[in-house]
Chains A and B, each alone.
Chain A
Amino acid sequence: MSILVIAEHDNASLNAATLAVVTAAKAVGGDVDVLVAGTSCGSVAEAAAQVDGVSKVLVADSASFENQLAENVSLLIAEVGKDYSHIMAPATTNGKNILPRVAALLDVDQISDIVSVESADTFKRPIYAGNAIATVQSSAAVKVITVRGTAFDKAAATGGSAAVEQLGAAHDAGTSAFVGEELAKSDRPELAAAGIVVSGGRGMGNGENFEILYSLADKLGAAVGASRAAVDAGFVPNDMQVGQTGKIVAPELYVAVGISGAIQHLAGMKESKIIVAINKDEEAPIFQVADYGLVADLFEAVPEMTGKV
């Protein structure tokens, strides 16, 4: 068995989502190699080489890989990955964008968003917004898999000393170009990695009112998330959405404020260790999953809580 893990990075640093994939790869068993495709991404390769349990780091440094365009990177991964038993990537928007292309190029089915490794060919994955968990077995020659980051512990970022190998490969499909990016800037922890998440819903009323959540979050060292309704209403940007079609989080503490608890929202946060709900409607479904529910007006309860934690 040999597993190729696709590194997620921004050409400067290795994204922690990759560490959870390394843990899943180790559970499969066999050598774990990491592929870093990018431009001037030497520091990423160095970081990957130090990850505990990694045997070898393969680096493909080319201008055509700078922005992770799926058309280009998938050609590389299919070429490098075809001799491996497994190709695994994080189920981030980047992994979801690229990996199905790789699977199709290799003419194999893909298994998306696994939450456990039962054996080298059998995995568990949520379906129907997490309302059912399917156990699936793959007979494909190369098993192409995306991994849900919150379901696996992160491999230690240090302790390894893998060899770094440069690949000459440069692929440019010539059909797509990067135009631009608007990335949200925040000093708060990243949603998917935070130990505490405070999320606001439609009940927040408007974008300015999110300030009271930011104050609470900063006091707790928390990341801030939102329901789709809050994002659709324009209160906050899309990258804050938690749920079936947004980000999946599983922090130690999740505080849902002015969120009703639709199944699509629950799909993104119900694996949290402790859930707190603050809602003025005592019938809100969010209370059915909350460890601690507070029936209160959020505009009074949240500032009070900020003062007391």
Chain B
Amino acid sequence: MKVLVAVKRVIDYNVKVRVKSDNTDVDLTNVKMAINPFCEIAVEEAVRLKEQGVATEIVVVSMGPKACQEQIRTALALGADRGIQVETEDKLDSLAVAKLLKAVYEEEKPELVILGKQAIDSDNNQTGQMLAALAGLPQGTFASEVKVADGKVNVTREIDGGLQTVALNLPAIVTTDLRLNEPRYASLPNIMKAKRKPLAVKTPAEYGVETASTITQLKVEAPAERQAGIKVGSVDELVEKLKNEAKVI
């Protein structure tokens, strides 16, 4: 079966972002970028499915400017077979990404599409669910376990109260949670090999997808800073402060 994986180029998770002084956005100049951690887990899961003989081909797709080819190459180095970049300089909202993914889905006809549950920049947690709705497919979001068998995929999901398992008809959409797997490191030979794997470049216009958003970002501000408090010298002092100063116990 063919597996499609969506990966997003985002700020590296170790970087603490700063808001621009004119409050129009966060400052991403010269900031280290990387593959979204949840997307990396999605790629790893697809590669494991291939190693188990369940998946036959892994296609990885990213929407964005030319630079997101780096993240496609990272996914190819981890074991994906070929890449598709949908090139756009526009700021895509989740619905636009989902519409583009639906077009790719229709062209590629995969049995399984794996996405990250959320991108760590916009923290939307929307794209997979939107793609599922647009394509009329079932979804297993926040997956911590994925098992494919008998034309179905069983997905164990991390929910507020614990874990839930659902059975989905294929084709289906899965979004990854952190504990689904631990992604491998790409080896140097695989990084070299990835450079020669096919990578097709498309545009939203070729897919006939309109990417305008109904959402306008008016302003971006830094959150109210928390001031560091004091260090207490003993448990007695801590309990005394909590009782008499903060009055919370």
User: A residues near B, CB below 8 A?
Assistant: 67, 69-71, 74, 92-94, 96-105, 107-113, 122, 126-140, 173, 175-184, 192, 196, 220, 228, 231-232, 237-239, 244-245, 247, 252-253, 263-264, 270, 273-276, 282, 287-296, 301, 304-305, 308-309
Name which residue of chain A comes closest to B102, CB basis.
A104
- A125 and B123 CA atoms in complex are apart in Å by 10
**Residues B222-245 near A (CB distance < 8 A):** 222-223, 226, 228-232, 234-236, 238-239, 241-242
CB of B93 to closest CB in A, whole Å:
5
Given A112-B125, A139-B214, A220-B249, check contact A175 B161 (CB 8 Å). Answer: no
**Residues B128-170 near A (CB distance < 8 A):** 128-134, 136-139, 141-142, 144, 154, 157-169
Q: Is A71 within 8 A of B130, CB to CB?
A: no
Interface string of B95-114 (1 = CB under 8 A from A): 10010000000000000000
- A239 and B169 CA atoms in complex are apart in Å by 27
User: B residues near A, CB below 8 A?
Assistant: 11, 13, 16-17, 19, 26, 93-95, 98, 117-118, 120-134, 136-139, 141-142, 144, 154, 157-169, 172, 177-179, 213-223, 226, 228-232, 234-236, 238-239, 241-242, 246, 248-249
Q: Is B168 within 8 A of A184, CB to CB?
A: no
- A173 and B136 CA atoms in complex are apart in Å by 9
Q: Is A238 within 8 A of B179, CB to CB?
A: yes
* Smallest CB-CB A-B distances: 9 pairs: A291-B229, A100-B129, A104-B133, A104-B130, A100-B126, A176-B138, A175-B138, A101-B133, A140-B214
- Within the complex, which residue of B117, B130, B136 is in contact with A103, where a contact is CB–CB below 8 Å? B130
- Chain B residues with Cβ under 8 A from A270's Cβ? 226
Given A93-B159, A196-B248, check contact A112 B123 (CB 8 Å). Answer: yes
- Chain A residues with Cβ under 8 A from B144's Cβ? 238
Name which residue of chain A comes closest to B98, CB basis.
A104
Q: Is B133 within 8 A of A100, CB to CB?
A: yes
Q: How many A-B residue pairs have CB under 8 A?
A: 257
- A28 and B120 CA atoms in complex are apart in Å by 28
- Chain B residues with Cβ under 8 A from A105's Cβ? 133
* Max chain B Cβ within 10 angstroms of own Cβ: one of A132, A136, A263, A273: A132
- Chain B residues with Cβ under 8 A from A238's Cβ? 144, 158, 162-163, 179
Given A133-B223, A292-B232, check contact A253 B94 (CB 8 Å). Answer: no
Q: Is A253 within 8 A of B139, CB to CB?
A: no
Name which residue of chain A comes closest to B121, CB basis.
A128
A-B contact pairs, 29 of them (CB 8 A): A93-B141, A93-B157, A96-B141, A97-B157, A101-B129, A110-B94, A110-B95, A112-B124, A128-B121, A131-B17, A132-B220, A133-B221, A173-B136, A175-B137, A175-B138, A175-B168, A178-B164, A179-B166, A181-B164, A182-B162, A238-B144, A238-B162, A245-B178, A247-B160, A289-B226, A291-B229, A291-B246, A292-B231, A292-B246
CB of B28 to closest CB in A, whole Å:
10
* Max chain A Cβ within 10 angstroms of own Cβ: one of B93, B172, B228: B228
Given A134-B219, A175-B138, 7 more A-B residue pairs with CB atoms under 8 Å apart are: A93-B142, A100-B129, A104-B134, A112-B125, A132-B220, A139-B214, A179-B166
- Within the complex, which residue of A135, A175, A282 is in contact with B217, where a contact is CB–CB below 8 Å? A135
- Within the complex, which residue of A92, A109, A129, A247 is in contact with B93, where a contact is CB–CB below 8 Å? A109
- Chain A residues with Cβ under 8 A from B213's Cβ? 109
Given A132-B17, A274-B246, A292-B241, check contact A245 B177 (CB 8 Å). Answer: yes
- Chain B residues with Cβ under 8 A from A296's Cβ? 235
- Chain A residues with Cβ under 8 A from B161's Cβ? 181, 183-184, 239
- Chain A residues with Cβ under 8 A from B132's Cβ? 70-71, 101, 104
Q: Is B126 within 8 A of A134, CB to CB?
A: no
Name which residue of chain A comes closest to B231, CB basis.
A293
Q: Is A109 within 8 A of B215, CB to CB?
A: yes
Q: Is A136 within 8 A of B215, CB to CB?
A: yes
Name which residue of chain A comes closest to B134, CB basis.
A104
- A100 and B161 CA atoms in complex are apart in Å by 21
- Chain A residues with Cβ under 8 A from B136's Cβ? 173, 175
- Chain B residues with Cβ under 8 A from A192's Cβ? 160
Q: Is B130 within 8 A of A101, CB to CB?
A: yes
- Chain B residues with Cβ under 8 A from A196's Cβ? 248-249
Name which residue of chain B comes closest to A139, CB basis.
B214
Name which residue of chain B comes closest to A308, CB basis.
B239
- Within the complex, which residue of B120, B129, B142, B214 is in contact with A128, where a contact is CB–CB below 8 Å? B120
Q: Is B133 within 8 A of A179, CB to CB?
A: no
- Chain B residues with Cβ under 8 A from A181's Cβ? 159, 161-165
Q: Is A128 within 8 A of B95, CB to CB?
A: no
- A181 and B161 CA atoms in complex are apart in Å by 9
CB of B206 to closest CB in A, whole Å:
21
- Chain A residues with Cβ under 8 A from B118's Cβ? 245
Q: Is B221 within 8 A of A132, CB to CB?
A: yes
Q: Is A273 within 8 A of B248, CB to CB?
A: yes
